[in-house]
Amino acid sequence: MLTLEDVNVYYDQVHALKSVTIEVKEGELVALLGANGAGKSTILMTISGILRPRSGHVRYEGHDLTRSSPYDIIQVGIGHCPEGRHIFGNLTVQENMLMGAVQRKDRAGVQRDMEWVYSLFPVLGERVRQSGATLSGGEQQMLAIGRALMGRPRLLLMDEPSLGLAPVIVQLIFKVIKQLHQQGVTILLVEQNARQALQVADRCYLLETGRVVMSGPVEALRTNPEIERIYLGGSAV
Amino acid sequence: MTQLQYLAQQGINAISIGSLYALMAIGLAMVFGILRLINFAHGDLIMVGSYGALLLLVLGTPFWVAALGGIVASTIAGLLMERVAYRPIRGAPDVSMLLTSFAVTILLENVAILVFSPTPRAFPTPSSLNSTFRFGQLQISRIDVVAILVAVILLVLLTLFVTRTKLGISMRAASEDLLAAHLMGINVNRVIATAFAIGSIMAGVVGLLWSARVGKVDPLMGFYPVLKAFVASVIGGLGSLAGAVLGGFLLGFLEILLQGLLPSSLAPFRDAFVFVALIILLLFRPNGIMGSAEREKI
Amino acid sequence: MRSQRFFNLLTLLILVVLTAGFLIYTKVAASAYIQRVVVGLAISIILVVSLNLINGMTGVFSLGQIGFMAIGAYTAAILTLPLSMKEVNLPDLPSWLAQVELSFLPATLIAGLLAVIVAFLVGLSLMRLSGPYVSVATLGFLVIVQVILVNWDKMTRGSRTFSGVPPFTTLWWAWGWTILTIYIGWRIARSMYGRRMIAVRDNQIAAKSLGINVMRSRLLAYCLSAFFTGVAGSLWAHFIMSFSPKSFYFVETFSVITMLVIGGMGSVSGSILGAVLITVLSEILRNAERGIAIGPIDIPPVYGASQILMSIIFILVIVFRPKGLLGGREIDFNRFWSWLLPKRGEKAIVPGKEVS
């Protein structure tokens, strides 16, 4: 469904992604793992069209998205739940959700999807008219996910959904991620919390300073001592 | 005239002037919120609108048609400005954008001087606007009433727009977090153009009301108003629409207050005092009244 | 074995010789018009280099520096105005001032000093602010100065022309101050302190982590800039000999900013380059404004053409070369030397790329 071929991305002079090649097949949940600064978020930003590769291609279902604008990329069905949530604090929960569906014209469908999201995250349904800034961290993350879902994405990019959240909330969020996966949404997940990620993913890529250093099905990586040592801090999952 | 009537008179003055400042400040705030651009050239949109209306009036069109024509002129000018001068530099550091707007101002003003000559021209305010209402001893000029009414109507419309329409909500979203707005698939180009359009319409309206009030137009007429709009915007907190409105009215009141309070020998220093007040405010609220009081925390 | 230092000194020597030669030639052989342009250029250079100190090197973009030029101009002019003229033009001057008539240097120094004092007091409050807020606040300063000048009739003649200022500014005075300003600007920009300041110009947090006291460095830059700007004001006053508050407002502000931006903010040589280019261009355009004939075509006088062209050039530079012609860096003379001189085998002369 989605491939990055030999993508090189620069921040000014800094070479952030070095010949990165990644593939996500339809229906898969692929995890991008790696330390801070490894380039995981950069990959998502590149897919979404915020960053442009200096060389290489981003292909999605036959389209070449390398030079596309974020506007077009939403149109083809790629949703993005950014790192740090980036919800609109001055807008209400409802308005945030509407923004997630900004390109859609089917009001009834949007309404239905909104109710569906509120069923996934009931707490949001209780705070519909509250402004985003008054929500707790966990609620904001739920809103960010819900908002991304409002675009009815076929491919969902999620950047560090568990960052800074209490374990209980993290559990809830990963439960929802698993649910989405089962419902057929293709997900590309960036996570520092490797343990959780490995529990839900089909396949993984491991990044280090902008380069893909390891990849494979999750069972293989789970028992790989490298990953254990660096990211899980000792014991195998 | 009694004390009370005098106060009422001045109060109406303040609200009237405040309305104009508020409308102008909104235009500035809208554009700043999304682009982080301080558009000095916003003042020249007043000028464009006024000259546009003047041209039509001279050609004999009825006032309301000419007024509309002026507003259309300023809107086109604003959209052109965005497309030609500001879109190419999107993403540039704030300073570059500020300086470019400086350059656009100088450009527009000099072109106007070239085309219209630097001498002010009379603006034929229709007699219906020139008269006054009488409430006992109170005299309220029609223009003041019109200004206040128009401002209220526009503000209500604007509020409805930014709370009830998708485009309006998108504007608020883009103003707060441009990156997230891109990620949601908001048509940022359209949002920005809309911000400029709305601001330009407001500027056009202010231009008309201003010209009608003072009875003349000149190429540099936008200079002081944009400075005031600036101050109003900063008072309220740059980027905040509510802040712009608040700032506009506060500024109006402050000016009238100073006019009344300052001994006549110090009266010409009124503008200086306004800026001093602004600086003092910024010391306590470095981001304006509606902005956060915090500075960057390490 | 030649070293980097040698080439630096050589470059410096050549620059000094060229400048001196240029000045002597101007004095001796050039027309009075050219001489005036060269003096004007000197003053512009002082203005731009001092503007660079604050706008190019700190995170503060001040829009009000011309206010200090005004303060300098009026202060010095009032001090040097001959007693007889004072009686006629400034009859209401306070008595202690009315009896004072100073020569050029003390008056200029006092002018600069007064500018510094004002800058210090104003800066204490303004330098805390950031981004657009400090720009608007400094703009407010410019307006406040204007209002005061226009209304303080007794001292300034208000909005009426202040004339009769003795023509003390010679080529040597102007360029002497210019060299001094360039020297100080250069030393600061190239010092470790200066380079750190530029590197963290836009990032207060990084600055603090590098041990730079943001407030103090801004205040220092602001006051230093004000001093030289005030001096420039004095030089200007004694050059054009008559002026009014309107001479120190928006148009001049934009002019100096244009020079800075075109040359490249943060760079001293960029500031000089910008000043030279704009001055030359302005003169050409000013002459063209009177209408010129190109072959069979008569271009009629176009008022404000120079302003219009200036703004267009400005916009073009910002769009296509936002960091200025020199990209914010200093002119790298070492590249010239390594191009000019052949490398000698193993003992290669390697004028390094350590600049910027």
pLDDT digits 0-9 by tens, A154-173? 999 999 998 888 889 899 99
Could you tell me which residue, A230 or C179, shows the higher pLDDT? C179
Q: What percent of chain B has pLDDT over 90?
A: 41
- To the nearest whole Å, the CA of A75 is away from the closest chain B CA by 8
| Angle CA C40–C46–C47, to nearest 5 | 90
Query: Which among C144, C202, C250 has the least Cβ separation from residue B272?
Result: C144
Cα–Cα distance, A85 to A163 (Å, whole number)? 9
The answer to whether the Cβ–Cβ distance between B282 and C137 falls below 8 Å is yes
Which H helix or E strand runs over A207? Answer: strand A203-208
Cβ atoms of B139 and B133 closer than 8 Å:
yes
Pairing of strands A186-190, A29-34: parallel
User: Which residue of B lies nearest to C255 if distances are taken between CA atoms?
Assistant: B103
| HSE value, Cβ hemisphere, 13 Å, CA-based, for C40 | 18
3-class secondary structure, B285: coil
Mean pLDDT of A216-236: 64
pLDDT digits (tens, 9 = 90+) for C133-189: 888 889 889 989 998 998 888 888 888 888 888 888 888 889 999 999 999 988 888
Q: How confident is the model at residue C301 (pLDDT cuts 50, 70, 90)?
A: low
Cβ atoms of C268 and C189 closer than 8 Å:
yes
Cα–Cα distance, C112 to C102 (Å, whole number)? 14
For residue C28, pLDDT beyond 50 = yes
- Helix ranges (H only) for B36-93 are 42-58, 63-81
The answer to whether the Cβ–Cβ distance between B268 and C129 falls below 8 Å is no
Q: What percent of chain C has pLDDT over 70?
A: 88
Q: Which residues pair with A63 in a beta bridge?
A: A60
For residue C354, pLDDT beyond 70 = no
Could you tell me which residue, C174 or B288, shows the higher pLDDT? C174
Q: Which residues of C touch B107 (CB under 8 A)?
A: 307-308, 311-312, 315
Cα–Cα distance, C314 to C322 (Å, whole number)? 10
Residue C90, pLDDT score: 83
Could you tell me which residue, B178 or B292, shows the higher pLDDT? B178
Could you tell me which residue, C176 or A221, shows the higher pLDDT? C176
Radius of gyration of chain C (CA): 22
Cα–Cα distance, C260 to A68 (Å, whole number)? 37
Q: To the nearest 5 percent, what fractions of chain B are helix, strand and coil?
A: 75, 5, 20
Q: Which residues of B touch A95 (CB under 8 A)?
A: 169, 172-173
Cα–Cα distance, C206 to C203 (Å, whole number)? 5
For residue B273, pLDDT beyond 50 = yes
Cα–Cα distance, C239 to B47 (Å, whole number)? 36
- Give the tokens for residue A40: 């995981």
| HSE value, Cβ hemisphere, 13 Å, CA-based, for C273 | 18
Cα–Cα distance, B201 to A208 (Å, whole number)? 52
Residue A206, pLDDT score: 87
3-state secondary structure chain C: CCCHHHHHHHHHHHHHHHHHHHHHHHHHHCCHHHHHHHHHHHHHHHHHHHHHHHHHCCCCCCCCHHHHHHHHHHHHHHHHCCHHHHHHHCCCCCHHHHCCCCCHHHHHHHHHHHHHHHHHHHHHHHCCCCHHHHHHHHHHHHHHHHHHHHHCHHHHCCCCCECCCCCCCCHHHHHHHHHHHHHHHHHHHHCHHHHHHHHCCCCHHHHHHCCCCHHHHHHHHHHHHHHHHHHHHHHHHHHHCCECHHHHCHHHHHHHHHHHHHHCCCCHHHHHHHHHHHHHHHHHHHHHHCCEEECCEEECCCCCHHHHHHHHHHHHHHHHCCCCCCCCCCCCHHHHHHHHCCCCCCCCCCCCCCCC
Mean pLDDT of C199-214: 70
Could you tell me which residue, C20 or C298, shows the higher pLDDT? C20
pLDDT digits (tens, 9 = 90+) for A23-52: 999 999 999 988 877 888 999 999 999 999
- Give the tokens for residue C261: 């931006």
For residue C103, pLDDT beyond 70 = yes
Neighbouring chains of C at 3+ CB pairs under 8 Å are B
Cα dihedral: B201, B205, B208, B211 (round 10):
-100
Instruction: Classify residue B115 by its DSSP letter.
Output: H
For residue C302, pLDDT beyond 70 = no
User: For chain C, what is the mean pLDDT?
Assistant: 83
- To the nearest whole Å, the CA of B119 is away from the closest chain C CA by 14
The alpha carbon dihedral of B88, B93, B96, B98 has a sign of positive
Neighbours of A221 (CB within 10 A): 24
Distant-in-sequence contacts of B215-219, Cβ < 8 A, 24+ apart: B215/B122, B215/B123, B215/B125, B216/B120, B216/B121, B216/B122, B216/B123, B217/B47, B217/B50, B217/B51, B217/B54, B217/B120, B217/B121, B217/B123, B218/B118, B218/B119, B218/B120, B218/B121, B219/B47, B219/B109, B219/B112, B219/B113, B219/B116, B219/B118
Q: How confident is the model at residue B296 (pLDDT cuts 50, 70, 90)?
A: very low
- Give the tokens for residue C100: 């004072």
The answer to whether the Cβ–Cβ distance between B176 and A80 falls below 8 Å is no
Closest-CA residue to A98 (of A154, A48, A156, A151): A151
Cα–Cα distance, C271 to C268 (Å, whole number)? 5
- Give the tokens for residue C11: 């470059």
For residue B136, pLDDT beyond 60 = yes
Query: Which among B176, B177, B185 has the least Cβ separation from residue A71?
Result: B185
Mean pLDDT of C237-259: 90
| HSE value, Cβ hemisphere, 13 Å, CA-based, for A165 | 26
For residue C349, pLDDT beyond 50 = no
Instruction: Classify residue A92 by its DSSP letter.
Output: B
Residues 6+ apart with CB under 8 A from C207: C59, C196, C197, C200, C214, C217
Cβ atoms of B74 and B52 closer than 8 Å:
yes
Residue C294, pLDDT score: 52
Residue C1, pLDDT score: 47
The answer to whether the Cβ–Cβ distance between A70 and B185 falls below 8 Å is yes
Block residue for tokens 């698939």: B185
Could you tell me which residue, B147 or A194, shows the higher pLDDT? B147
The answer to whether the Cβ–Cβ distance between B296 and C254 falls below 8 Å is no
Closest-CA residue to C214 (of C203, C225, C229): C203
Residue type, B175: S
CB-defined contacts A:B, below 8 A = 61
Could you tell me which residue, C337 or A32, shows the higher pLDDT? A32
Mean pLDDT of B268-274: 79
Cβ atoms of C259 and C274 closer than 8 Å:
yes
pTM, entire model: 0.85
Mean pLDDT of B220-247: 87
Which of B45-54, B151-160, B282-291, C16-25 shows the lowest mean pLDDT across its residues? B282-291
Block residue for tokens 């106060």: B7
For residue C298, report the phi and psi dihedrals to the nearest 5 degrees: -100, 110
Cα–Cα distance, A102 to B182 (Å, whole number)? 11
Q: How confident is the model at residue B78 (pLDDT cuts 50, 70, 90)?
A: very high
B280 touching A (Cβ < 8 Å): no
- Give the tokens for residue A201: 């993913």
Distances (CA, A) of B17 to A22, B21, B153, B199, B251: 61, 6, 16, 18, 9
Q: Is B touching A (3+ C-beta pairs, cut-off 8 A)? A: yes
Neighbours of C98 (CB within 10 A): 16
Cα–Cα distance, A85 to A146 (Å, whole number)? 11
Block residue for tokens 């593939």: A23
Query: Which among A71, A73, A86 has the least Cβ separation from residue B179?
Result: A86
Strand order, beta sheet including A63-64: A14-24, A2-11, A55-60, A63-64
For residue A237, pLDDT beyond 60 = no
Which of A128-132, C4-8, C203-207, C217-221 shows the lowest mean pLDDT across its residues? C203-207
